[in-house]
Every structure is written in structure tokens, then in C-alpha cells.
Structure 1
Amino acid sequence: MAARRLAKSAVDWTAFAERVPPAQKEYFRAFKARSEGFVNRVHQYPEKLPAIDFAFYKRALASPALAEQFEKSYQGLNIPYPKDKSNLAAKVDSEKSAAEATSKSLVKELQEEISQAKQVLSKLDSLPPPEHMTLEMYSYYFPENDLDPNKPTHWPHTPEFQPANKKDLLM
């Protein structure tokens, strides 16, 4: 009976557990146990109030008017199911849709980066191994790092330690 009350808010704990980082598994277990405790407490109560035999009480009590008063009060008792007054469910749904849109755009960007990285890897796989590469091959494949044989460099072969740059610094 009570399951119908909570059918909309059922949680897929296995899917939830897959998304929890390893460092937060203990927090997840505690959260799940607490949530299940709340759900179990709700399920222990019936969906509708139990029927009371007021006819028996009218016969058994010295004052049947008292039983009638209790019966009227009991029949008039109406405990409403809690409502979302602050419209929190709609806010959560809107945040969820916004997060899904952000995730989709992020996935699209990352897929593009992956395809670019695969293209670079395929180009690098087509290169000969470094131990078989000559200086001419190196300058052909990597022109931005080409060592010009007409301009020898000095150790440590970085631009700031070259003689041409030192002349510029002195002037």
C-alpha cells in the first residue's frame, strides 16, 4: 500500500553507486542506510487509517455520547500527504535539465578533443622510430624544431644562451 505513495521517488541505487567517487563510498553507504530507514518508517504505517468498530465502544462505554464524539473526530481527521510548497521538485528538475545540457556540450567538446588527439597519434604512429630518424627526417617532420646547420648553437641549446641573443642583450 505505502509503496504507491513513494513510487515516484524510487532511487536507482546501483546507478547512483556507479557515479560515487571511491573517496566518498562511506558517505554514500551512510546516506543510503539513512534513506532506507526513512522509507522503512513510512512503509510501516498503513496508507489509510485503520477502521475502528465504534459500535462496540458505544455498547461497552458507560457514555455512548463520548464514543460518538470520538467517531466524529476520527471521521473528520484528515492528514494530507505533504505537498511541495516551495516548488522544490520543479527547481530540481530544471537544474537537472540544465546539468544534462551542460554535460552534453562538455561531452561533445571532449569527443572533438579525442578525435583530434587520435589524429595526432595516427600521425605520430606513421613516423619512423627515433633511433632510425636522421636529422633531415627530423627537420622534415618537425620544421618548428629544426636545427639549422648554417647556424650552430651552443650548449644548452636554448635561445637565451646563444651568442646572437647575448649581443642583443648587451646593446
Structure 2
Amino acid sequence: MAKRISQSSVNWAALSERVPSEQRANLTAFKAKSDAYLRRVLANPPEPPKINWAVYKQSVPIPGMVDNFQKQYEALKIPFPADTQTAQVDAQWAEVKKAIESFVQTANANITKYEKEISSVQALLPYDQMTMEDYRDAYPNEALDPLNKPTFWPHDPNDQPGNYKPEATQAAH
């Protein structure tokens, strides 16, 4: 005999937290169908009703007919299908758990890195209060340094003398 269902094994509250807001109506409809099915299952007794064969033997005039039916009824066994998928689902779930844990570790590492970046940016002076010297101290690779690395206006790397590419001028002629 199959295991009797007593209650839904679905944690609907946890599931509804993970469902996007535009899919909540579908989840509600699915939950209603699931609850209706569970109520129909629980309305029936766990075992089929017992047949009183003695009453039938007294009321059926053909001898041996009820005994034949009783023997066939008791020999009838409806097999419950064997569970062949749970092991595969459990294996897939183990793989998914590993992927989730890996993602969480990567995400936590990224969060830590970005929190450090945020704290370093928050420690800087606001840009409207920064002088050119403060900007040079905060961003030494991006700031203009006229003494050590003089540049020509508009101070764009493509417009500097060391960035001359003869191929570009020959292709233009």
C-alpha cells in the first residue's frame, strides 16, 4: 500500500518569498489546486471498505459465483510503481547545492571586495571640495602631473607626441 498523505510537504511561505511578484497569481492558483487535491485525498479513507462476502453468498443464488469473485478480488494486487527517479533527483539536487554554495562564496567575496571599494571612496573628500592636489593624491594615475609627465592640451592620450602612429597617417593620405 502506498504511503498515506497527511499534509502538503511544500513550504508555501518560503516558496512565495522566492516567486517574482508578476508570478504570484500563478502560484496562488497552483496552491489552490494542490490544496483541493489534498482535501479530496483526505476525504477518502486510507483503506478501501471491506466487503461482507457472507451477505452476497446468501443473496446470490448461483453456487460458487461469490466464492469465485472473492478469490479473484483477494488475488488482485495493484502494484504501486517503484520509485526510480528519487535517486536521480537527489543527485541533481546535490549538484545544484554545490553550484549554489560556489555562487554564494563568489558573491560574498565580491561583496567584500566592493564594500572595501565603497569604504575607500567614501573616505575620499567630496569632489566639490577637492583641490587638484587632493585629486592627484587620490588618483595618481589619472591626475595631470606637469612636472614629471608633461602633456599637451587637451591632455588626451591620443593627442600626445609619444602616441604617433605612422600607419594612421599613411592610410589617411
TM-score by length of 1: 0.81
Moved over 6 A (4+): none
Q: Secondary structure at the match of 1:121?
A: helix
Q: Structure 1's 153 and 39: CA in aligned 2 closer, same or farther, altered over 3 A? A: farther
Q: 1:106 — aligned with what?
A: 103
Deviations 1:27-80 (A, max 9, x none): 323433343344444434432221011111111121242221221122222223
Name the SS for the 2:31 alignment partner. helix
Q: Deviations over 1:74-96 (max 9, x none)?
A: 22222232322xx2111111111
Deviation sequence 1:83-131 (CA, Å, 0-9, x none) = 22xx211111111111111101110111011111111111112111111
Distance 1:153-1:44 versus aligned 2 partners, 3 A rule: farther
User: Which structure is higher in helix share?
Assistant: 1
Q: Please give the residue correspondences for 1:7-86 in structure 2 after superposition, counting only pairs within 5 Å.
A: 10-84=9-83
Residue ranges of structure 2 left out of the alignment (5+ in a row): none
SS at match of 1:46: coil
Identity of aligned residues (%): 32
The answer for the alignment partner of 1:159 in structure 2 is 157
Whether contact under 8 Å (1:139, 1:146) holds in the other structure is yes
Question: 1:110 aligns to what SS in structure 2?
Answer: helix
Letter paired with 1:81: F
**1:132 aligned residue (112, 129, 133):** 129
Moved more, 115-124 or 66-75: 66-75
Q: Distance in 2 between matches of 1:19 and 1:101?
A: 19
The question of whether the paired residues in 2 share the 8 Å contact of 1:54 and 1:67 is answered with yes
Unaligned runs of 5+ residues in structure 1 are: none
* TM-aligned CA distance change 1:43 to 1:81, over 3 Å: farther
Paired letter, 1:158: D
Which letter maps to 2:10?
V
Quick one: distance in 2 between partners of 1:136 and 1:89? Answer: 67
- Counterpart among 115, 118, 122 of residue 121 in structure 1: 118
Contact 1:57 1:67 in 2 (8 A): yes
Q: TM-score, normalised by structure 2?
A: 0.80
Asked if 1 retains the 8 angstrom alpha-carbon contact of 2:57 and 2:66, the reply is yes
